[in-house]
Chains A and B, each alone.
Chain A
Amino acid sequence: MPRTRSILHVDMDAYYASVEVREQPGLRGRPVIVGGSPRQRGVVSAASYEARRFGVHSAMPMARAMRLCPQAVRLPVRMELYLRVSRQIHAVFKRYTPQIEPLSLDEAFLDVTDSVRLFGPAGRIARRIKQEIADELSLVASVGVAPNKFVAKIASDIDKPDGFVEVRADEVQAFLDPLPASRVWGVGKATNAELQRLGIRTIAQLRQQPRALLQDRFGKFGERLWELARGIDTRPVITDSEAKSISNETTFAVDISDTEILRAWLMDLTEQVARRLRAHQRYGRTVQLKLRFEDFHTISRSHTLAVATQTTRVIWEVAATLLQEALRKQNKAIRLLGVGVSGLVASPEAGGLQQDLFAGNNTAKQQVIDQLADQIQSRFGPAGIKRGTGCKHSPS
């Protein structure tokens, strides 16, 4: 029996909107919606709890949100600001553990198993993190504490906003049993419909299903369902520096079929992946593209380079070609786009770095460009500098 782990899931409440309210205290208590302009078919990126009461939620078309809540204050997305604040939040995390797995700007898993001897029980660490974020950054976090990622994530969500839920190892089953089966990780619309058909509504009911039946119905994922229903989740918290692959993906609020817009998103995602590679001094050889179509059909395509790279331009060229190939064969709209790099190594090639011939693709020059871009971004945020291709999707 492996020792019991202590995993925290920290999730900021109405993050973008809360940061905006903090910046402009006059907005406190008023419905605030952050997102693109309704006239340009913008969508809601975040809504304060005051706005949510009117039925506004993220990913909703802004025009609709403003109809539901005409008195709301609409603010444009200020990504650089949220990124800066996110770094401050991470600085708080780092006081307690180096084992941090960021999921997005406002969400992260922390493994504090080894921090307990220094700082006391996991619950106390979680409360201190929540308190320090409130005191120092005037922001509210919901925190879940549990023996694994799956339960911690549910725990942080269940008492939102301003939530704090700790689930001890011996309470996991009692905690999970009454919850709807749709809470289980990976159960989306399709799986849930299938479960409903089988008469499974709660996690308790899911747990009572024979393992063989779940495997039969859901294949490999059935095995996972069987485990999760029992609160078994052995996935470790993976920090970027020990990752075997680095990837970023995004699900669009509205399915996209415009190639130029997809390319722009792809450039942004590529830039994020490449920056993470550089931040951790890693080079990757295999570039992967992930696409989920409007009908939920998901494909991934990959290409392996002769030489490992951390250069944005090189990853971009591969990713863009893979995208072009994939779109040539399918003309469905895209729901999710992701790019990743795997086959990570600490140096590109044992014997030296082969330079590339084509102008603008020159490795040395590209390295300087990447370095400068990274410096500018770390001072001014992601919008501080953008590559030409990446500018076209911004709603602002």
Chain B
Amino acid sequence: MKLIISRETLLKPLQIASSVVERRQTLPVLSNVLLKANNQHLTLIGTDLEVEIVTQIPLEESVEGEITLPARKFLDICRALPDNANLNIETDGEKAMIRSGRSRFSLATLPASEFPNIEPMTSPYEFSISQKVLKSLIDQTQFSMAQQDVRYYLNGLMLELSPNELCAVATDGHRLALCKAEADLQIDETRQFIVPRKGVTELVRLLEESDTPARIQVGENHIRVDLPDISFTSKLIDGKFPDYNQVIPANPTKIVSCDREALYQAFARASVLSNEKYRGMRLELSPNQLKATVHNPEQEEAEEELEVQYSGEEFEIGFNVSYFIDALAAIKADQVQVNFTDANQSCLIHGLGDDSCKYVIMPMRL
């Protein structure tokens, strides 16, 4: 293999493909990135066996071939070269030579044949959706995913396809985030699949705030998202996501509405006096008033009062303050509606007059 490429065109695709490469690896070849050159393209592939990212760069002159290089070192070299540098990459026996100006690097390689391939997808279901919409669905829900929960099916984001709608749901068992977007999906029946946590965080980094479509293929065990010059593949979690509709409060009776930013700021200030172990916040509601109190083990106390619209009876309820802050940060509307049933049941938060995104939080007993 032999090719010449400018640092400028190589750097970003290389960064993207290397982003999935984990620092610690069980298989040596997994710390490498695969380079494939043909007359027209250089293809870069990084994988951790769960997520694979493929990027493509047009080439002007090259000698065909494929090889794997240590991802981190290759990227660091590329980064450290001057902006306008050109790289001359050439395999030389078991080494790869990189030359640029008066710099020379001889890197250890592993044969491309050792690089793991993700199995091809059989009869996938395909659809397209704008990158912007998909990004926003993920951004507004992903913070509620569980982390290393024994209920492994919660350690990811559930995507639900139905005829006119794409819906994303994440929950860690204490709170749940749900976001829907209109989408023209040629599908007869509802279909669910769970993308693992790592896949979700990698994917959202690749998506741009643009109307360019993302082409999505969903197979039995994998999801593939094709973007211009990038192809992302992730394994799916093999499990059944819990029935999320069941935990969305059906008939909340105590309805509070207020300015989102004001409520967010009040909770953010109060949370200063919470700590990692103890995130409890007491909410006291009385007509047109909300009071939030946070204590900590050092006996310090924060109290916030806020004018709200509320005409129900007085009551008290406890929450993990972070869960509320996360939800309020994700909502885009200026006004929010917070719906309670009683002190033992979950509350539902959504933008006023907008229920495309819903946030459900279970209370704490304080």
Q: Which A residues are within 8 Å of any B CB, using their own CB?
A: 303, 305, 317-318, 321-322, 349-359, 361, 364
Contact A357 B364 (CB under 8 A): no
**Cα(A351)–Cα(B171), bound, Å:** 22
CB neighbours of A358 from chain B (8 A): 173, 242, 246-247
Contact with A along B160-196 (1 / 0, CB 8 A): 0000000000010111100000000000000000000
**Cα(A359)–Cα(B174), bound, Å:** 12
Partner of B365, one of A317, A353, A357, A359: A353
The answer to whether B44 has its CB under 8 Å from any CB of chain A is no
**Cα(A350)–Cα(B278), bound, Å:** 7
Contact with A along B279-314 (1 / 0, CB 8 A): 110000000000000010100000000000000000
Contact B174 A364 (CB under 8 A): no
The answer to whether B233 has its CB under 8 Å from any CB of chain A is no
Contact with A along B300-330 (1 / 0, CB 8 A): 0000000000000000001010000000000
CB neighbours of A318 from chain B (8 A): 150
Number of A-B contacts (CB under 8 A): 62
Contact A355 B151 (CB under 8 A): no
15 new A-B contacts, CB < 8 A, other than A356-B362, A357-B362, are: A321-B151, A321-B152, A349-B277, A351-B295, A351-B366, A353-B364, A354-B364, A355-B174, A355-B363, A355-B365, A356-B173, A357-B360, A358-B246, A361-B173, A364-B365
Contact A356 B150 (CB under 8 A): no
CB neighbours of B176 from chain A (8 A): 357
Partner of A357, one of B150, B171, B318, B344: B171
Contact B277 A355 (CB under 8 A): no
CB neighbours of A364 from chain B (8 A): 344, 365
Q: Which residue of chain B lies nearest to A360 when distances are taken between CB atoms in the complex?
A: B246
Those 6 A-B pairs whose CB atoms lie nearest each other, nearest first: A351-B278, A352-B366, A355-B362, A352-B364, A351-B280, A352-B280
Residue of A318, A351, A353 contacting most chain B CB atoms (<10 Å): A351
**Cα(A364)–Cα(B343), bound, Å:** 12
CB neighbours of B155 from chain A (8 A): none
**Cα(A362)–Cα(B322), bound, Å:** 21
The answer to whether B346 has its CB under 8 Å from any CB of chain A is yes
Contact A354 B362 (CB under 8 A): yes
**Cα(A353)–Cα(B278), bound, Å:** 10
Q: Which residue of chain A lies nearest to B171 when distances are taken between CB atoms in the complex?
A: A357
CB neighbours of A357 from chain B (8 A): 171, 173-176, 247, 346, 360, 362
**Cα(A15)–Cα(B246), bound, Å:** 49
Q: Which residue of chain B lies nearest to A314 when distances are taken between CB atoms in the complex?
A: B150
Given A303-B150, A318-B150, A321-B150: A354 and B277 within 8 A (CB)? no
Contact B174 A356 (CB under 8 A): yes
Q: Which residue of chain A lies nearest to B275 when distances are taken between CB atoms in the complex?
A: A351
Q: Which residue of chain A lies nearest to B246 when distances are taken between CB atoms in the complex?
A: A359
Q: How far is the CB of A79 from chain B (nearest CB, A)?
A: 30
Q: How far is the CB of A348 from chain B (nearest CB, A)?
A: 10
Contact A359 B247 (CB under 8 A): yes
10 contacts between A and B (CB under 8 A): A305-B150, A351-B295, A351-B364, A352-B280, A354-B174, A355-B344, A356-B174, A357-B176, A358-B173, A359-B247
CB neighbours of A359 from chain B (8 A): 246-247
Q: How far is the CB of A308 from chain B (nearest CB, A)?
A: 12
Q: How far is the CB of B328 from chain A (nearest CB, A)?
A: 19
CB neighbours of B366 from chain A (8 A): 351-352
CB neighbours of B279 from chain A (8 A): 351
Contact A350 B297 (CB under 8 A): yes
**Cα(A349)–Cα(B279), bound, Å:** 11
Contact A355 B364 (CB under 8 A): yes
**Cα(A141)–Cα(B133), bound, Å:** 75
CB neighbours of B318 from chain A (8 A): 352
CB neighbours of A349 from chain B (8 A): 277-278
Q: Which residue of chain A lies nearest to B360 when distances are taken between CB atoms in the complex?
A: A357
Q: How far is the CB of A327 from chain B (nearest CB, A)?
A: 15
Q: How far is the CB of B135 from chain A (nearest CB, A)?
A: 26
